[in-house]
Amino acid sequence: MSNTPNQVDPKELEQAFSLFNEASAQLTGAYQELQQQVERLTGELAVANVELRRQLLEKEALSQRLSHLLYAMPAGVVVLDQQGTIIELNPAALELLGESLVGHAWVGVAARVLAQTVVPHEWDLAPVSGAAPRRVSMSSSPLDAAGGQVLLIHDMTEAYAMQRELQRHQRLSAMGEMAAGLAHQLRTPLATALLYTSHLKKLDLPENERVRFADKVLARLRHLEHLIQDMLSFVKGEGAGQDVVRMSSVLVDLQQVMEPQMTERGLNFRISDDCQDAVVMGSRKALTGALLNLLENAMQACPEGGQVSLKGKVGGDGQVSIAVVDNGKGIDSATQERLFEPFYTTRTDGTGLGLAIVRGVAEAHRGSVQVKSAPGCGSEFILRLPKL
C-alpha cells in the first residue's frame, strides 16, 4: 500500500523529533552554561563591589584624617589649582593672611602682602587686614600631575624675636664680663682730659700752650664720645634694615670719604669695583659704617707710603664680597683669634668694639667677615653678603 501525499513519513518524523531534541538539549546546555557564567560573574562583581566599597571607605577615612591634619597644622597651608588660584586654606593660613582669599590668584595676593628679606625663602608678611607684620618662611610642593601646588607657610616671628633677645643678652653679658676693662678705658681718657683742663686754669699759661692743651682735651673728649657711641652700637646691635643697597654706589661713597684722608697720610688708595650692579638688602648706613671701620683700621696699620685697596666683586656662590687690603705689618694668628671679641684692642687709642660691631653688622645681614693676615704680609678683611 503506497503513501498518500498528506501522509507523514514516520522516519522523517522521528528524525525531526531527534533533531529537535538534540537542539533542545544543546539550547538547554548553553542556557545552563550561560546561567553558570552569569552566576560566576555576579559573584565576582559582588566581590569587586565589596572591595571597591572597602577602598572607598579607606579613602574617605584617609581623606578625613588628612583634612583633620591639615586643619590642625600650626603652619599655614594654601592649596592652589593649576591656574595658581587659591582653592583652600587651613585656619593657620587664614590667621596669617587675615581673611579668606579663596578664588584669588596667589600671585596678586603675594605681591600685596609679601616683602622679600635678606634671607632666602623668608618674607615679611603684612596681612591685608592690617594686622602686625610677621616674618614667615615659605616652601611649595606639587599637588598633582595637573599642576596644582601646596604652599607651606611657617610663622618665624616669635623665633626671630627670641633670637634677637638672646643676642641682646649675649651682648649685655659680654659687657658685664668686660666691665672692669671698660671702666679703665673710660677712666684713662677722662683723667687725661681733666689733667689738661687743670692746666688751662693757669692765668700765666702762654697762648700757644693753652691752645695745645685745649686740643688735647678735645681729642680725649672725642675719644670718649667715640667709645660711648661704639658701646651703644654694640649693645643695640646694628639691624639689617630693608633698604635695597647697590654696592657699587657704597664703594663710591667710601672713596669720597676716605680718599682725602688717605692722601693726607701719604697712602695710596685704590678701588676695584667688579660688583656688576649687584644689590643686597639691608641697612646702607650700617654697611657703610662697617666698611669705614675696616678702612680706618687699614689706614692706621699702614706706614707712610703704604697702600690700601678696596675691592668689590660677585662670587660664584651668589655672594657679594667687599675686601679691604693693606700692606701694613700684618697680624699674628693669636691676635687674629681674638680680633672680633668685644673690647679687645691692640691700639692704645682703640675702643675694642669696632670689629665686634663689623661682625654684628655682617651677621645681621646673613653674611660673614673674615680676616687673612700674617706678620709682615699685610692684612685682608673680607665682608661677604648674600646678593639679592
CB count, 10 Å around CB of 231? 19
CATH of residue 354: 3.30.565.10
State the Rg of the chain over Cα: 42
Per-residue pLDDT of 84-113, as tens digits, reads 898 888 888 888 887 778 888 988 888 888
Domain end: 194, 211, 237, which one? 237
Same domain, 163 and 24: no
Q: Quick check: is 8 in a domain? A: no
pLDDT of residue 371: 93
For residue 226, give the C-alpha cell. Answer: 667715640
**Starting at the edge strand that comes first in sequence, how are the strands of the sheet with 379-386 ordered?**
268-274, 307-314, 319-326, 379-386, 368-373
For range 137-149, the mean pLDDT = 81
Angle at 83 between CA 77 and CA 85, to 5 degrees: 40
Same domain, 109 and 170: no
Asked whether residue 271 carries a pLDDT value surpassing 80, the answer given is yes
pLDDT of residue 321: 93
First to last CA, the chain: 123
In 25-177 the beta strands, taken as DSSP E runs, fall at: 76-80, 86-89, 114-116, 122-125, 134-142, 149-155
Q: Quick check: is 201 in a domain? A: yes
Question: Cα dihedral sign for 356, 357, 359, 360?
Answer: positive
How many whole angstroms separate alpha carbon 173 and alpha carbon 186?
19
Q: Quick check: is 10 in a domain? A: no
pLDDT of residue 4: 53
Residue 302 lies in domain:
240-388
CATH of residue 196: 1.10.287
Same domain, 263 and 380: yes
CB count, 10 Å around CB of 319? 18
For range 330-340, the mean pLDDT = 88
CATH of residue 78: 3.30.450.20
Q: What is the DSSP string of 100-140?
A: --TTSBHHHHHHHHEEE-SSTTEEEE--TT-PPPEEEEEEE
Secondary structure of 220-237 in HEC code, one letter for each residue: HHHHHHHHHHHHHHHHHC
pLDDT band at 313 (very low <50, low <70, confident <90, very high): very high
pLDDT of residue 341: 81
How many whole angstroms separate alpha carbon 112 and alpha carbon 104?
12
Same domain, 227 and 149: no
Same domain, 328 and 283: yes
Q: Quick check: is 11 in a domain? A: no
CB count, 10 Å around CB of 62? 10
Same domain, 246 and 325: yes
Asked whether residue 356 carries a pLDDT value surpassing 90, the answer given is no
Q: Quick check: is 211 in a domain? A: yes
Contact between residue 295 and residue 310 where contact means Cβ atoms under 8 Å apart: yes
Closest CA to 70 of 93, 86, 53: 93
Same domain, 179 and 117: no
How many whole angstroms separate alpha carbon 62 and alpha carbon 54?
12
For range 182-207, the mean pLDDT = 76
Per-residue pLDDT of 203-216, as tens digits, reads 888 888 888 888 88
Asked whether residue 129 carries a pLDDT value surpassing 50, the answer given is yes
Q: Quick check: is 13 in a domain? A: no
Per-residue pLDDT of 216-255, as tens digits, reads 888 878 777 766 776 666 656 655 667 888 999 999 999 9
Identify the top-confidence range among 68-77, 305-314, 363-372: 305-314
pLDDT band at 318 (very low <50, low <70, confident <90, very high): confident
Same domain, 61 and 146: no
Identify the top-confidence range among 207-211, 259-263, 281-285: 259-263
Same domain, 277 and 351: yes
pLDDT of residue 310: 95
DSSP class of residue 85? Answer: B
Same domain, 93 and 66: no
Task: Give the residue, 171 or 246, on which the prediction is more confident.
Answer: 246
Give the whole-number percent of the chain exceeding pLDDT 90. 16
Angle at 93 between CA 87 and CA 96, to 5 degrees: 135
Q: Quick check: is 106 in a domain? A: yes
pLDDT of residue 67: 67
| Summary mean pLDDT of the chain | 82
Domain end: 237, 265, 283, which one? 237
Asked whether residue 3 carries a pLDDT value surpassing 60, the answer given is no
Contact between residue 77 and residue 90 where contact means Cβ atoms under 8 Å apart: yes
Q: Quick check: is 290 in a domain? A: yes
The total number of structural domains in the chain stands at 4
pLDDT of residue 349: 65
> Would the pTM of this model clear 0.75, i.e. be above it?
no
pLDDT of residue 183: 65
Residue type, 340: F
For residue 190, give the C-alpha cell. Answer: 677722662
Q: Which contiguous run of DSSP H or E holds residue 245?
A: strand 243-246
Given its phi and psi angles, is residue 168 left (phi above 0), alpha (psi -120 to 50 degrees) or beta? Answer: alpha
Contact between residue 387 and residue 280 where contact means Cβ atoms under 8 Å apart: yes
Same domain, 163 and 133: no
pLDDT of residue 1: 46
How many whole angstroms separate alpha carbon 49 and alpha carbon 103?
37
pLDDT band at 182 (very low <50, low <70, confident <90, very high): low
Specify the residue for cell string 600631575. 145
Given its phi and psi angles, is residue 366 left (phi above 0), alpha (psi -120 to 50 degrees) or beta? Answer: left
pLDDT band at 174 (very low <50, low <70, confident <90, very high): low
Give the whole-number percent of the chain exceeding pLDDT 70. 86
How many whole angstroms separate alpha carbon 251 and alpha carbon 323?
11
Same domain, 30 and 44: yes
**Of the ranges 32-36, 145-149, 254-258, which one carries the lowest mean pLDDT score?**
145-149
Domain end: 177, 205, 237, which one? 237
**Partners of 146 in beta bridges:** none
